[in-house]
C-alpha cells in the first residue's frame, strides 16, 4: 500500500495584514467490507477436500470445512472378531505463531480438529464377510449392529455416509480428544483407511490490529498409534505426520479523499473579518477546518511537514515584507478511530516531522474527518500588529502511511 501525501497551500489574506510429512496449506483472507464495517474476521479460502467436497451442502449449513491429506492407514494383521478399530483426533486447541513476511510482526493462531473421516476399504465384500449384502452387511460387521454412520461416544455422527460392497465413507465429529471405538463382529483379513479427512476450527487474531501482508506459520501433527491422529493399534500410516501451513492474507485499505480545491486553505476568524474591521476587537483565533474523507481498516500514521518551521510545532506563513505568522495543525478523525491510548481523535495536534499513529476499531468507509489549521491568540496578536497588511502564505504537507 502506497503512502498518501497531500500538500496544502495556506493563504491568509488581511484587509490590513518439520521433515517426512504430508503438507497441507490453509489460507484465510481479510478484506474490509463496507457493508459490514464492524466485521473483523478472516474468510477461509481453503478449498474443501474429502467429506465436505462430497457433501458440500450440509457442511455449508454448519459453516464447516474439511481437508483431505494423502495419508493411508493399513491394518498390519487380520482384524479378528472382538478386535477394536478406533478414531482419535487432536480436538484440543493448539497454538501456532504466524509471522508477517515483510514486517516480521507475529500473531497467534489457535486451531482444533473438530471432526475426522475417511473412506475405508475392506479386503473383501461385506456379503462375503458377513453373509449379508450392503448396507445391512456393513451394519452387522460391527458388534454395535450399526455401521459407521453412527459414531460411538464420545464422537458424534454427521448423519451422512456412503458405501459400496467393499468400502464405507464416514465422518465423525470429535468434541473431545478421546478414542471412539468400533469392535469387529467378524474376521476382516485386511482393512485400510484411504486418506484422512478432517474438519477444523480456527481462532484468528483481530485483523484490524495487523499490518497488511502475508502472515505464515506451520503446525505439525503426528500420525499412527499413540500419535495425534490415532486409528487404533493395528492401523499404521504410510506417513508419520501432517504439517499444516497457514497463510493469513491481510489486505487493508487506507485512502484519503479531499473535496475539489481542498488543498487550498484560507484562514479567517469565526464569522469572517468584518467583526474585526467594524469593532477593532482582536479575534481570539484565526482558523479553518478542512474536511477530508477517510477509508481505513488498520493502524496508520500521519506526519506533518512544513516548508518553513516556526516555533515549537507551528508552521510559518510568510508575508510580502518577509515577516511571518505562525499556524498550528491538528487532526480530527471519524468515530471509531482512536489514538494509541484509546482516546477519540479531536483536534489532535500533529507534531512536525513525527509519525502520529492511530488505530481503527472498525472499518471506516468514507467517513468525514478534518485537518484543523489554527492561528492561536498569541500568533494573532503578532499578526495584527499595526502596519502589517497583505497576504501571508506557506505550504504544509500531510503524509498518510499504512505501514506502522
Q: Express each pLDDT in 342-382 by its tens digit.
A: 999 999 999 999 999 999 988 999 999 999 999 988 888 88
Burial letters 278-312, b for 16+ CB under 10 A, else e? eeeeebeebbbebebbbbbbbbbbbbbbbeeebee
- The CATH number that applies at residue 389 is 2.60.40
* Residue of 182, 381, 368, 167 whose CA lies nearest to 283: 381
**What pLDDT, on a 0 to 100 scale, did the predictor assign at position 21?**
64
Q: What total number of domains does the chain contain?
A: 2
**Domain match, 52 and 154 both:** yes
End position of a domain, from candidates 200, 228, 250: 250
**Domain match, 307 and 191 both:** no
∠ at Cα 394 (392, 397), nearest 5°? 155
Q: Does residue 73 lie in a domain region?
A: yes
Q: Which of 165-179, 230-244, 319-333, 335-349 has the lowest mean pLDDT?
A: 319-333
**Domain match, 306 and 204 both:** no
Q: Express each pLDDT in 125-139 by its tens digit.
A: 999 999 999 999 999
| Interval 238-243 mean pLDDT | 93
**Domain match, 212 and 101 both:** yes
Q: Does residue 326 lie in a domain region?
A: yes
The rounded percent of the chain whose pLDDT value lies above 70 is 94
**Domain match, 241 and 267 both:** no
Q: Which of 18-22, 117-121, 157-161, 229-233 has the lowest mean pLDDT?
A: 18-22
Full-model pTM = 0.77
Which residues have a Cβ under 8 Å from the Cβ of 136 and sit 6 or more positions away?
Answer: none
Q: Does residue 317 lie in a domain region?
A: yes
pLDDT bin (cut points 50, 70, 90) of residue 3 is low
Which range of residues forms the domain containing residue 52? Answer: 33-250
pLDDT bin (cut points 50, 70, 90) of residue 293 is very high
Looking at the predicted structure, is the pLDDT value of residue 69 above 60? yes
Per the structure block, which three cell numbers stand in for 213? 501482508
Q: Does residue 69 lie in a domain region?
A: yes
DSSP 8-state symbol, 15: S
Q: Does residue 70 lie in a domain region?
A: yes
**Domain match, 287 and 372 both:** yes
**Domain match, 235 and 262 both:** no
End position of a domain, from candidates 218, 250, 282: 250
Q: Does residue 52 lie in a domain region?
A: yes
* Residue of 289, 291, 287, 303 whose CA lies nearest to 256: 291
**Domain match, 105 and 52 both:** yes
End position of a domain, from candidates 197, 230, 250: 250
Q: Between the CA of residue 32 and those of 211, 252, 254, 337, 362, what are the distances in Å?
A: 13, 7, 11, 15, 9
**What pLDDT, on a 0 to 100 scale, did the predictor assign at position 17?**
37
Distance in angstroms (rounded) separating the CA atoms of residues 98 and 109? 7
Q: How many CA atoms lie within 13 A of 144 on its CB side?
A: 16
Amino acid at each position: 500500500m502506497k503512502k498518501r501525501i497531500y500538500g496544502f497551500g495556506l493563504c491568509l489574506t488581511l484587509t490590513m495584514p518439520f521433515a517426512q510429512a504430508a503438507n497441507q496449506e490453509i489460507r484465510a483472507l481479510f478484506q474490509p467490507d463496507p457493508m459490514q464495517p464492524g466485521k473483523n474476521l478472516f474468510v477461509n479460502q481453503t478449498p474443501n477436500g474429502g467429506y465436505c467436497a462430497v457433501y458440500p451442502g450440509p457442511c455449508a449449513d454448519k459453516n464447516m470445512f474439511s481437508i483431505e491429506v494423502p495419508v493411508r492407514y493399513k491394518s498390519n494383521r487380520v482384524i479378528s472378531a472382538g478386535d477394536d478399530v478406533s478414531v482419535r483426533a487432536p480436538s484440543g486447541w493448539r497454538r501456532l505463531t504466524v509471522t508477517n513476511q515483510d514486517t516480521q510482526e507475529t500473531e497467534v493462531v489457535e486451531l482444533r480438529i473438530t471432526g475426522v473421516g475417511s473412506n475405508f476399504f475392506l479386503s473383501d465384500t461385506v456379503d462375503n464377510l458377513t453373509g449379508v449384502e450392503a448396507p445391512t452387511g456393513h451394519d452387522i460387521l460391527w458388534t454395535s449392529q450399526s455401521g459407521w454412520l453412527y459414531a460411538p461416544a464420545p464422537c458424534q455422527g454427521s448423519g451422512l455416509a456412503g458405501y459400496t460392497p467393499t468400502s464405507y465413507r464416514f465422518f465423525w465429529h470429535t468434541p473431545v480428544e478421546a478414542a471412539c471405538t468400533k469392535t469387529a463382529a467378524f474376521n476382516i483379513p485386511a482393512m485400510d483407511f484411504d486418506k484422512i479427512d478432517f474438519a477444523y476450527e480456527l481462532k484468528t487474531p483481530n485483523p484490524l490490529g495487523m499490518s497488511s501482508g502475508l502472515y505464515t506459520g506451520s503446525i505439525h501433527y503426528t500420525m499412527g498409534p499413540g500419535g495425534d491422529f490415532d486409528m487404533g493399534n493395528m492401523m499404521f500410516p504410510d506417513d508419520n505426520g501432517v504439517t499444516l501451513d497457514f497463510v493469513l492474507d491481510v489486505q487493508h485499505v487506507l485512502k484519503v479523499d479531499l473535496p475539489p480545491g481542498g488543498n487550498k486553505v484560507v484562514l479567517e476568524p469565526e464569522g469572517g473579518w468584518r467583526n474585526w474591521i467594524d469593532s477593532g476587537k482582536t479575534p481570539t483565533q484565526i482558523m479553518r477546518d478542512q474536511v477530508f474523507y477517510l477509508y481505513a481498516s488498520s493502524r496508520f500514521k500521519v506526519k506533518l511537514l512544513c516548508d518553513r518551521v516556526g516555533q515549537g510545532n507551528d508552521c510559518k506563513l510568510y508575508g510580502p515584507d518577509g515577516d511571518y505568522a505562525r499556524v498550528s495543525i491538528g487532526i480530527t478523525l471519524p468515530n471509531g478511530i482512536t489514538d494509541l491510548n484509546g482516546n477519540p481523535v479531536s483536534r489532535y495536534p500533529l507534531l512536525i516531522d513525527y509519525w502520529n499513529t492511530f488505530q481503527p476499531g472498525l472499518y471506516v468507509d468514507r467517513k468525514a474527518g478534518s485537518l484543523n489549521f489554527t492561528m492561536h491568540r498569541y500568533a494573532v496578536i503578532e499578526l495584527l500588529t499595526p502596519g502589517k497588511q497583505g497576504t501571508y502564505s506557506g505550504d504544509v504537507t500531510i503524509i498518510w502511511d499504512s505501514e506502522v
